Chain A
Amino acid sequence: MSTDELKKIPHFGAGIGLRLELAEDTLAHTKEINVVEIIAEHYFSSIEQGLTGILAAARAAYPVIPHGVDLSIASTVPIEKEYLQHADELMRALGAHYYSDHFALTRSGDELDIGHLSPVWFTKEMLENVVARVDHVQQTLGKPLVLENITCPFVIPGADFEEPEFISEVCRRTGCGLLLDVTNVFINAHNFKFDAQRMIERYPIDSLVHVHLAGGEMEDDVLIDTHSASIDGVNEGVWPLFEWVVTNADVKAVIIERDDDFKVSFDDTVLNDLRRIKSIWKKAKPEAEAFLH
């Protein structure tokens, strides 16, 4: 797939991951939220009936971006035909322009499935494996695949690439897009003691489509990607990184990930973060005013 396909993706603006616990607030703030993202697999079993319930309500109010967690692009076992059929059905029902998931390993067949994103071993053999699988997914869906960098509990030694270079090569060879989780880069930089800004600059910015930001927690000087707090907390340091990203890349969507601690005020946390995202984005790109209401 050509990278021209990424350029055709419209600008969606800033929004939030759609979660049941936040659904009422999410649907009530259409003046502030531009776009929502869903966990794709949560809707696979119901999509045969079309858009129903909360998904229908969300789609009526916003563009909805499907974000998978179980594609396991780094696996060596074939991607199930049924999985891609569901993904395709969901994308058609939503009118989605791309499907996103992660540069990660979650399983090797049905019996070895950890249900969580785990690090990729960035070898030459893995590169060929991922390129082939990305090509297959994109050919099947007929739309770009956009893949996200993850937080790493450790780096698997003996690799041929570091993550930014591996991802760059995948994007170059397949035309797939990058979902840059700025928070994940920040967390990895803190935990593994490298410079986050210099790392961010190594990712393939020309392939960047979508950004994730999230709050987290600190435990024994280790940052944890809990998605449970405002970004203005232990992850305050992501803001300068985000500013660099929106200045240098043609970002189409920015999503705040919030998956825990829902008792706090939506206004004081999520909307506050959203307002700051838009402020930084508009300052970096005044033309963003057109899609950041």
Chain B
Amino acid sequence: MSLHLFQRSILTLYSNTGELERFLAAPEEWSRDSGLSLAEADALTTIPREQLVGFQKMLHRKSMGIARKLLSQNRRALVLTVLHPEAPVLLWQEHSTLRTLHLSPSLYRQFHYLAREKQRTSFGTLALSLLRDPTSSYKDVANLISNMIRSKLFGRIIYIPLVL
């Protein structure tokens, strides 16, 4: 269990800018609040700061880069996926369901990463992006609007990282 807790703590530092800032401001307190043992806290707090921060920044850059690349390549697949009437709920709640929507592991992982950073857009913006996408058709836009009305989600904010 202890190793598990240590891993969750270090992965949190890698992936969450806010938590990393809180850790750097008060590492002993953060480690204690995370339930780490003295040895684990010591290991975490003695990682050279610039190396830890550098790694976190690299991961962030990589995730944003991958997300942009994947979204541009998969915009059509993404949008068609979102057209699924249950998509907004599914995107947020069910990781396994995301897989059944045939999103690549990288793509749905980026959704969750970026969701933590609170990237968001609206169905309206999504419709606009569809219009701008050369691979989309007016039928896609019509289907989107139809779905939005049918699922009563018109105007609802959904966490999809289209605005990057």
Ranked nearest first, the 3 interchain pairs of A and B with the lowest CB-CB distance are: A154-B51, A153-B55, A158-B43
B59 near A158 with CB under 8 A, answer no
Q: Is the CB of B112 within 8 A of A113?
A: yes
The residues in A between 53 and 83 inclusive whose CB is less than 8 angstroms from any CB of B are 70, 74-77
Closest residue of chain A to B55 (Cβ to Cβ) is A153
A142 proximal to B (CB < 8 A): no
**Distance to closest chain A CB from B16 (angstroms):** 9
A41 to B58, CA, bound (A): 22
A176 to B59, CA, bound (A): 29
Interface string of A140-156 (1 = CB under 8 A from B): 00000000000001101
Can you name the residue of chain B whose Cβ is closest to the Cβ of A80? B96
Q: Interface on B for A, CB 8 Å cutoff? A: 2-4, 6-8, 10-12, 14-15, 39, 42-43, 46-48, 51-52, 54-55, 58-59, 62-63, 66, 95, 99, 102, 104-106, 109-110, 112-113
Let me know if B7 and A76 touch, CB within 8 A: yes
- On whether the beta carbons of B11 and A107 are closer than 8 Å, the reply is yes
B106-A115 in contact (CB<8A): yes
Measured CA separation A42–B52 after assembly (Å): 29
Complex Cα–Cα for A158 and B38 (A): 11
A123 to B43, CA, bound (A): 11
Establish whether residues B4 and A108, one from each chain, have CB atoms under 8 Å apart when the complex forms.
yes
| Shortest distance between the CB of B149 and any CB in chain A (Å) | 31
Chain B contacts of A105 at CB under 8 A?
7, 10-11
Given contacts A121-B43, A158-B39, contact A75 B112 (CB under 8 A): no
A113 and B7 alpha carbons, distance in the complex (Å): 11
- Say whether A112 contacts B3, CB under 8 Å: no
In the bound assembly, the distance between CA atoms of A109 and B96 in angstroms comes to: 12
| Bound CA–CA A6/B37 (angstroms) | 39
Which residues on A sit within 8 Å (CB–CB) of B10? 105, 118, 156
Q: Quick one: which of A108, A121, A158 contacts B46, CB cutoff 8 A?
A: A158
Is there a chain B Cβ closer than 8 Å to A221's Cβ? no
* A157 CB-CB contact with B under 8 Å: yes
- CB neighbours (8 Å) of A156 from chain B are 10, 43, 47
* Other-chain residue from A41, A42, A110, A157 in contact with B95 (beta carbon distance below 8 A): A110
Q: Which of B47, B52, B105 contacts A70 (CB 8 A)?
A: B105
Q: Flag whether A126 is at the interface (Cβ < 8 A).
A: yes
Report the minimum CB–CB distance from B119 to chain A (whole Å).
16
5 A-B interface contacts by CB (under 8 A):
A105-B7, A108-B4, A113-B112, A114-B59, A115-B113
Do residues A154 and B14 form an inter-chain contact, with CB atoms below 8 A? no
Closest to A123 in B: B3
Bound complex: CA A105 to CA B3 (Å): 12
A108-B112 contact given A115-B63, A157-B43, CB 8 Å threshold: no
CA distance A73 to B7 in the complex (A): 12
Q: Is A111 an interface residue (CB 8 A)?
A: yes
- Whether a CB of chain B sits under 8 angstroms from the CB of A45 is yes
Chain A residues with CB under 8 Å of B51's CB are 153-154
Q: Of all chain A residues, which has the CB nearest B95?
A: A110
What CA separation (Å) do A121 and B41 show in the bound complex?
A: 13
Q: Does A139 contact B (CB under 8 A)?
A: no
B15: which A residues are within 8 A, CB to CB? 112, 114
A160 CB to nearest chain B CB (Å): 11
Q: How far is the CA of A147 from the CA of B3 in the complex (A)?
A: 21
Apart from the given pairs A109-B8, A121-B6, A126-B3, 11 other A-B contacts in the complex at a CB distance below 8 Å: A76-B3, A114-B15, A115-B59, A115-B66, A116-B59, A118-B10, A121-B3, A123-B3, A125-B3, A153-B58, A158-B39
